Structure 1
Amino acid sequence: MALPTKEPVTPQNGVVRIAFVASAVPRRCGIATFTADLMAAVKAADPAVRCVAAAIDEPNTARPYGPDVRWRVKQGDKESYRRAARAINESSVDAVNLQHEFGLYGVWRDGVYDDHCVPFLETLQKPVITTLHTVLPQPEPQIRETVRRIAEHSTRVVVMAETAARLLRDVYGIAQRPVVIQHGMPAIVPRGRHRLKRQLGVEGRAILSTFGLVDPRKGLEYMIAAMPEIVARHPSALYLIVGQTHPELLKKAGEQYRNELVSKIESSAMSDHVRFVNQYLTQREIVDYLLATDVYVTPYLDLNQITSGTLAYALGAGKAIVSTRYLHAAEALADGRGLLVDVRDPDG
């Protein structure tokens, strides 16, 4: 299956206008942060480019956005995606950039995935570049067909790992090779570790850290279980769990998972060696904590994860990294760039 051939973009008055379709800040969502960084990078690369956005909102949510957000899409409402596509068609936008994650573009009902991305793409009449943030290695037939149709209706597909490109070819049967663009990161100068430790009040400690929205898929309990052995060998070790609880988890279960982690820390007498930074950090704050880190850890449980922004940040900061063998880590940390361990294995 090949991607469609479309006419080249013809900018109006020499100015290219791009509409980004994704979740948008201040929504606390990895895709929203990624898209904001991408828009900023596009503007920095060419200040003449005009960027606007269609923001995907959770149901029953009222959220103030900046002036870049021209349209709102109600997540879970298929017709809302079509309306957004028609509005973009009627606008002066030259091209569309769509950031795809299954949860943003469809809903599961009784075990069946109801896709809302293809209806959007079928309605859209502008050239569209679609970035796939998830490419499952063993998809159910309906997911495989959904991805094939997304590719069919996209002018170009982008993935962030060679593994994803291989899967699209071998598993999904998509003939046209996608563009592989590795996950970006801010410009990080890897220095100032001791100064930043002093600023954060952890001077003299060997810092291990994990960043991102906290939820059970992160496998944090297994890193906590490994801490007694680590501390026995390195008494100054301190593990920082940096990030708020995932908003969707908060809605369903409150702070149950974080409270379970606290109980594990206390029962293992690790209160002096594991700390939470329970806040949503700016990019600058993330970089500061990362620069203060000695070893970055991603103990993630989902081996199908094809991209990790925090892993990309850690690589960019030149950190030593220990990770489970999820797809992105297995590729990014190959050839000695990091240490890979099995999931649910504190002794690893």
Structure 2
Amino acid sequence: MLAEALASVAGDMLSIKVFSTTEAGRDPYTLNGVEVVPSYERGAASYSRLLDVLAEHGGVDVLHLQHEFGIYGDTPAIIEALLEARAERLTRAAVATLHTVYHPRGVEKGLETRLSLYERSFLLDSIVVHSVLQEFELASQGAPLERLHRIPHGTSINSYVETPRQKLIELLGLPGELQRARVLAVPGFLRRDKGLATLLEAFSKVDDPAARLVVAGEPQGRGSEEVARLLEEYEAREPRLVVLRRYLSSREVLYLSALADLIVLPYEDRPGKYSVSGILHLSMGSLKPIVGTRVPRLVELYQLAPRMVVRPRSPGELAAKIRWVLQNYDETIPYMGQVYSYAVRTMWPRMARRHLSLYQSLLAAS
């Protein structure tokens, strides 16, 4: 999304190339107007091949890594490649966006190795994070403040919010009874850390006959069998639960968010892990009320609309909050005003301009 937004904002003044993994093949291709150059394997032990590809392309002015542990593994190997690219003058500025930041007292396996990645990243020209929690955690670990920049995750305004409800129901293949229902939705992948057990128990306590909870997607990750079994158990005894058991495309997730009267994000974060939810930004862009939990992934919701946040793993609190929203819907909409304003302020073109400004300042100083 960032590359596309940069291309739309900068136009011909900027040449953008995405050096990606080889999962989609090894031949270069163009995606939404952006050149993609497959350059390395996912989780590689070394990224020397990236340096070779950079040399073949004559180097770049700014080399910006979007770091995910699921792609690059626990080691600092990819950071070392960025530092080497700068040393070999294959780039004038090396930047990394760290999508996940860990506290030293976290509970993740391989935590010490991941913390060493942060230490090496402090040598880059700039480190970008998305939340205040990530910003101050890295600062406490020694990140130079002059190199540490917080740029919020980008938001897309859902273009389907004006689509007639019946059309959205048909596009998703959902029951026609949802036309007259009060729809609660959980967008995104079905994983154990999404708090599905808490939500299902909470929904069983919401005594609104018009309410329907739509759970759509495929169980993923560790505990996927447990999630699938949980859904089957609740579906057998809760007629208001609607389960759509299939993978949803990005567009279908937008359909579901546009259909919802209330979006519920009952997340459960592991201790010492700081990230930002892309689904939260998608939900904000759908301009619907959102109920979430008080976890780092949803810190922006907690900052902007604290009354819409409950403790994680608290089905009683979550049920009470859902009931309150359904009973006071007309009051909830104006209360969410700051969230909707934030969605507009963090639209992708605006965040692209923030990145472009950062690149320009780094190049001016190089």
TM (norm. structure 2) is: 0.71
1:168-317 alignment runs, 5 A limit: 168-188=138-158, 190-192=161-163, 194=165, 196=167, 199=170, 200=172, 201=176, 202-230=178-206, 232=207, 234-246=208-220, 249=221, 256-267=225-236, 269-276=237-244, 278-282=246-250, 284-303=251-270, 304-317=273-286
Judged with a 3 Å threshold, the aligned counterparts in structure 2 of structure 1 residues 195 and 178 are, in CA distance, closer, same or farther, namely farther
> Does the 8 A contact of 2:168 with 2:255 survive in 1?
no
Equivalent in the alignment of 1:131: 97
Judged with a 3 Å threshold, the aligned counterparts in structure 2 of structure 1 residues 344 and 300 are, in CA distance, closer, same or farther, namely same
Q: Which amino acid aligns with 1:273?
A: L
CA-to-aligned-CA distance 1:113-137 (integer Å, 9 cap, x gap): x332222223213122211101123
Q: Distance in 2 between matches of 1:174 and 1:241?
A: 43
Structure 1 position 331, deviation (Å): 3.3
Equivalent in the alignment of 2:118: 147
> Does the 8 A contact of 2:43 with 2:72 survive in 1?
yes
Q: Distance in 2 between matches of 1:338 and 1:64?
A: 50
Q: Distance in 2 between matches of 1:45 and 1:336?
A: 30
1:39 equivalenced with 2:3 (yes/no): yes
Judged with a 3 Å threshold, the aligned counterparts in structure 2 of structure 1 residues 340 and 193 are, in CA distance, closer, same or farther, namely farther
Equivalent in the alignment of 2:29: 66
Q: Distance in 1 between matches of 2:303 and 2:112?
A: 31
1:152-163 alignment runs, 5 A limit: 152=123, 154-163=124-133
Q: Distance in 2 between matches of 1:256 and 1:328?
A: 24
Percent of paired sites with the same residue: 23
Structure (1/2) with the larger helix percentage? 2
Q: Distance in 2 between matches of 1:299 and 1:181?
A: 25
Q: Distance in 1 between matches of 2:312 and 2:56?
A: 49
Unaligned runs of 5+ in 2: 318-366
Judged with a 3 Å threshold, the aligned counterparts in structure 2 of structure 1 residues 177 and 50 are, in CA distance, closer, same or farther, namely closer
Give the secondary-structure state (helix, strand or coil) at the position aligned to 2:279: helix
> Does the 8 A contact of 1:295 with 1:319 survive in 2?
yes
1:100 equivalenced with 2:70 (yes/no): no
> Does the 8 A contact of 2:20 with 2:36 survive in 1?
yes
Equivalent in the alignment of 1:119: 80
Q: Distance in 2 between matches of 1:346 and 1:180?
A: 33
Q: Distance in 2 between matches of 1:273 and 1:291?
A: 18
TM (norm. structure 1) is: 0.75
1:91 paired residue among 47, 50, 57: 57
Q: Distance in 2 between matches of 1:191 and 1:165?
A: 36
Unaligned runs of 5+ in 1: 1-36, 108-113
Judged with a 3 Å threshold, the aligned counterparts in structure 2 of structure 1 residues 285 and 65 are, in CA distance, closer, same or farther, namely farther
Q: Distance in 2 between matches of 1:172 and 1:221?
A: 38
Give the secondary-structure state (helix, strand or coil) at the position aligned to 1:347: helix
Structure 1 position 86, deviation (Å): 3.0
1:322 equivalenced with 2:291 (yes/no): yes
1:51 equivalenced with 2:16 (yes/no): yes
Equivalent in the alignment of 1:167: 137
Structure 1 position 183, deviation (Å): 1.1
Judged with a 3 Å threshold, the aligned counterparts in structure 2 of structure 1 residues 142 and 135 are, in CA distance, closer, same or farther, namely same
Judged with a 3 Å threshold, the aligned counterparts in structure 2 of structure 1 residues 176 and 198 are, in CA distance, closer, same or farther, namely same
Give the secondary-structure state (helix, strand or coil) at the position aligned to 1:94: strand
> Does the 8 A contact of 1:89 with 1:124 survive in 2?
no
Q: Distance in 1 between matches of 2:80 and 2:147?
A: 23
CA-to-aligned-CA distance 1:301-337 (integer Å, 9 cap, x gap): 1153421011012122222111121113133332436
Q: Distance in 2 between matches of 1:335 and 1:257?
A: 34
> Does the 8 A contact of 1:215 with 1:257 survive in 2?
no
Q: Which amino acid aligns with 2:258?
A: L
